[in-house]
Homo-oligomer: A and B are copies of this chain.
Amino acid sequence: MRLSRSLVPTLKETPAEAQIASHRLMLRAGLVRQTASGIYAWLPAGWRVLQNIAQIVREEQDASGAQEMLMPTIQSAELWRASGRYDAYGPEMLRLKDRHERELLYGPTNEEMITEIVRSSVKSYRELPQNLYHIQWKFRDEVRPRFGVMRGREFLMKDAYSFDLDYAGAVVSYRKMMLAYMRTFQRLGLKAIPMAADSGPIGGDLSHEFIILAPTGESQVFYDAAFEGIDYTGGQFSFDSEADLQRFHEMMTGSYAATDEKHDTAAWAKVAEKREGRGIEVGHIFYFGTKYSEPMGLTVAGPDGKPVVPHMGSYGIGVSRLVGAIIEASHDEAGIIWPDSVAPWQAVIVNLKPGDAACDSICEDLYAKFAGKALYDDRADRAGAKFADADLMGHPWQIVVGPRGAAAGNVELKRRATGERQELAVDAALARIL
């Protein structure tokens, strides 16, 4: 996009309402605009980041064998009465009535709906396991929305739901999601640690929150330094191998890691190399057995023809929250530092002198070669303002085209994360990025 023709309204001043870095920077970099309390519009740059994150989440869900679908935002109250949650769910649920006075709600989550869909569609054990996910907007009517998209009311979430014939199958589904989540966060440039979480009335130990480390995180976290050495990336764990999945699960849960809520001082005392820090929850995986399948009457015919009640799990990633979390984990005083994988554009082309034939020619040529992957700052602004916006917006690369360099066919290339600068011929600069 050409910045002169784009809706990327960067701000010089820090908006008064923003208390944390990600909120401030998302407003200042023109990523979002608040349209009502805790509700945001995603402007073009912010939308690109959100899409990039959603796409990585999607690819790893697909790789694990989960199937994408889409459930609607509006649900019937009736469905939630079947599980007993309609009355149990507090004022965070946005309840409404349609023109015929039928009770509806804006879905805060989808256990009931997916259970009902599977109940009406899946008849035999042969059709299990199934893991279905969607990436859809949810609404939770927070009493005091704050921290921008980190604790908003309308938010984008990936939620997956697994259905297995028995507990052993559910454990395999759970482990697949644990692997998918760690791969996802790694691709997003995040250091995530699974931490034991409350498993509620179900009990057991199949409930983990995924916490990313960020100095401005909401919770205090305690973890074994062993997590720093764990390498879970690449192809060494296959979704198709139960042995791999078990090994991965053991590796991820074999060392101490807890948020302040679940911190166990006795266990902590035994940890040889301790690490403490701040963390942000960005995902949660949870096995809950037959909590929904049982009351909602979901059964399949088992191998012997008798009805079996499937075991379920649910698996969430806060997609819009991740935008804030990534910024919390990766910014400096000048602005955002996007990981390459989620940046709205890989590079910004900064034309220091629009109207100068050599500058214009190099910039247009570069812009065409990036084929949509670069933002072109073609504005008639001071160089200082352009540099400040480039740092603020956090593009991984800045290609600065000034009249002196342009005359010699050179540009200055700056890597945002390190600040490293280099004067290079145009083609050499391109080769470094693409």
Name which of A98-106, A411-419, A425-433 contacts chain B: A98-106
At the interface, yes or no: A328 with Cβ under 8 Å from chain B? Answer: no
Q: Decide if A33 touches B121 in the complex (CB within 8 Å).
A: yes
| Nearest residue, chain B, Cβ from A380 | B126
At the interface, yes or no: A364 with Cβ under 8 Å from chain B? Answer: no
Q: Decide if A44 touches B72 in the complex (CB within 8 Å).
A: no
**Residues on B with beta carbons closer than 8 Å to the beta carbon of A1:** 67
Contact pick for A69, options B41, B92, B104, CB 8 Å: B41
At the interface, yes or no: A56 with Cβ under 8 Å from chain B? Answer: no
A67 to chain B, nearest CB (A): 5
At the interface, yes or no: A94 with Cβ under 8 Å from chain B? Answer: yes
Q: How far is the CA of A65 from the CA of B372 in the complex (A)?
A: 11
At the interface, yes or no: A20 with Cβ under 8 Å from chain B? Answer: no
Q: How far is the CA of A1 from the CA of B130 in the complex (A)?
A: 12
Q: How far is the CA of A44 from the CA of B137 in the complex (A)?
A: 18
Q: How far is the CA of A52 from the CA of B62 in the complex (A)?
A: 17
Instruction: Name which of A9, A41, A116 has the most chain B CB atoms within 10 A of its CB.
Output: A41
A360 to chain B, nearest CB (A): 17
Q: How far is the CA of A118 from the CA of B30 in the complex (A)?
A: 12
**Residues on B with beta carbons closer than 8 Å to the beta carbon of A71:** 35, 41-42
Contact flags A338-381 to B (C-beta < 8 A → 1, else 0): 00000000000000000000000000000000001000000010
8 A Cβ contacts from A106-149 to B: 106, 113, 116-118, 120-122, 126-127, 129-130, 132, 134, 137, 139, 141, 143
Contact pick for A70, options B41, B68, B91, CB 8 Å: B41
Q: Decide if B47 touches A68 in the complex (CB within 8 Å).
A: yes
Contact flags A4-44 to B (C-beta < 8 A → 1, else 0): 11110100000000000000000000100101110111111
At the interface, yes or no: A154 with Cβ under 8 Å from chain B? Answer: yes
At the interface, yes or no: A73 with Cβ under 8 Å from chain B? Answer: yes
**Residues on B with beta carbons closer than 8 Å to the beta carbon of A4:** 126-127
Q: Decide if B39 touches A118 in the complex (CB within 8 Å).
A: no
The verdict on A44 contacting B67 (CB below 8 Å), with A99-B143, A127-B5, A130-B5 known, is yes
**Residues on B with beta carbons closer than 8 Å to the beta carbon of A96:** 94-96
- Give chain A's interface residue range (CB within 8 Å of chain B): 35 or more
At the interface, yes or no: A424 with Cβ under 8 Å from chain B? Answer: no
The verdict on A47 contacting B70 (CB below 8 Å), with A7-B121, A33-B121 known, is yes
The verdict on A74 contacting B42 (CB below 8 Å), with A99-B141, A121-B9, A126-B4 known, is no
Q: Decide if A137 touches B72 in the complex (CB within 8 Å).
A: yes
A158 to chain B, nearest CB (A): 14
Q: How far is the CA of A70 from the CA of B33 in the complex (A)?
A: 11
Q: Decide if A7 touches B113 in the complex (CB within 8 Å).
A: no
Contact pick for A67, options B7, B9, B62, CB 8 Å: B7
Q: Decide if B7 touches A118 in the complex (CB within 8 Å).
A: yes
The verdict on A117 contacting B33 (CB below 8 Å), with A4-B126, A73-B154, A99-B143 known, is yes
**Residues on B with beta carbons closer than 8 Å to the beta carbon of A259:** none
Instruction: Name which of A46, A47, A143, A372 has the most chain B CB atoms within 10 A of its CB.
Output: A47
| Nearest residue, chain B, Cβ from A93 | B99
The verdict on A39 contacting B72 (CB below 8 Å), with A1-B67, A120-B33 known, is yes
Q: How far is the CA of A103 from the CA of B146 in the complex (A)?
A: 20
Q: How far is the CA of A42 from the CA of B143 in the complex (A)?
A: 32
Q: How far is the CA of A320 from the CA of B303 in the complex (A)?
A: 39
Q: Decide if B122 touches A7 in the complex (CB within 8 Å).
A: yes
Q: How far is the CA of A46 from the CA of B9 in the complex (A)?
A: 37
Additional pairs, 19, CB under 8 Å, beyond known A35-B76, A50-B70: A1-B67, A4-B126, A4-B127, A30-B121, A33-B117, A33-B121, A35-B71, A37-B102, A39-B72, A41-B70, A41-B72, A44-B67, A44-B68, A46-B69, A48-B68, A73-B73, A73-B137, A94-B96, A99-B143
Q: Nearest 7 pairs between A and B by C-beta?
A: A9-B121, A96-B96, A42-B70, A36-B76, A44-B67, A91-B99, A41-B71
